[in-house]
Structure 1
């Protein structure tokens, strides 16, 4: 499975560790930045290439890290086709994929430790969308919201 990953300065170190762990676990990983620590970078700039890659299918799933995970989640969800969520526990990491077809996991680099981060990543990547009628009906409604003009 091809995975995309991105982080701003507040998640830079965690991203570096996750890239290593993902590759060791056998995943193909594309790093969308940041490529060096820069305390002045902005999460919307960092998340955009990853979100576009997820939406286009260039990568199967994405992982984004910022300080709290909130900023990258908000920014990523502005891209049509991205279903991103800030996740802090394993149930939602897999359930978000199984029921809601979540395709971008957002993590808070300053609020959860490396062991929990890896557990969340594993749960997210191993989960598969169930596609039952009720889940697909809801997903179709979400997709319709993306097509509406404000």
Structure 2
């Protein structure tokens, strides 16, 4: 699995911890920056870049780290086909995948310890969409993704005209 990884300066240290953890587990990483904790690249540039990698299927999933994780999620979710989730614990990560089929995980570098981040990342990467839900719920979730895709098409239709 190939993962795009990015941060701003507030998330740099945690991004590096997550990166090393993923490399140790054998994942292929596309690190889009920042390259040091003193970088002045705005969080929204990094979030947008990772979202484009995921939306264009250049990677399987993305992980973003800023101060709280929230700014990155807001920006990433402005891109069609992106379902970014802020997760502060492993249970939120499990639910973001099993219910919402999130394809970008966002973490808070100022609020998440490396150990907790590893638990979140491991859970997020090993949970599949609809995993653990009874058959009727699985069917409903799959149908809801079709409805969401239609809403997304309507919402972003103006982009195709520009």
> Displacement of 1:39 after TM fit?
5.1
Q: Report what 1:141 is aligned to.
A: 147
Larger Rg: 2
In 1: Cα distance, 2:96 partner to 2:83 partner: 9
The gaps in structure 1 that reach 5 residues or longer are none
Aligned to 2:17: 17
Q: CA deviation at 1:75?
A: 0.2
Identify unmatched segments of 5+ residues in structure 2. Answer: 132-137, 157-162
TM-score, scaled relative to structure 1:
0.93
- The 2-side partners of 1:143 and 1:88 are apart by 26
Cα distance, 1:91 vs structure 2 = 1.2
The count of residues paired between Structure 1 and Structure 2 equals: 150
TM alignment of 1:1-150, pairs within 5 A: 1-38=1-38, 40-130=40-130, 132-149=138-155
1:112-145 per-residue CA deviation (whole Å, 9 max, x = no partner) reads 1111011000000011113822111111222222
Instruction: Specify the SS of the correspondent of 1:139.
Output: helix
CA apart distance, 1:46: 1.0
Aligned equivalents of 2:92 and 2:82: distance in 1? 17
Cα distance in 2 for residues equivalent to 1:71 and 1:100: 19
Tell me, in whole angstroms, the C-alpha distance in 2 between the residues paired with 1:126 and 1:37: 29
Q: Structure 1 CA distance, aligned partners of 2:18 and 2:152? A: 31
In 2, Cα distance between equivalents of 1:75 and 1:130: 26
SS of the residue aligned with 1:121? helix
Q: Give me the TM-score of the superposition, normalised by structure 2.
A: 0.87
Whole-angstrom CA distance in 1 between matches of 2:114 and 2:37: 18
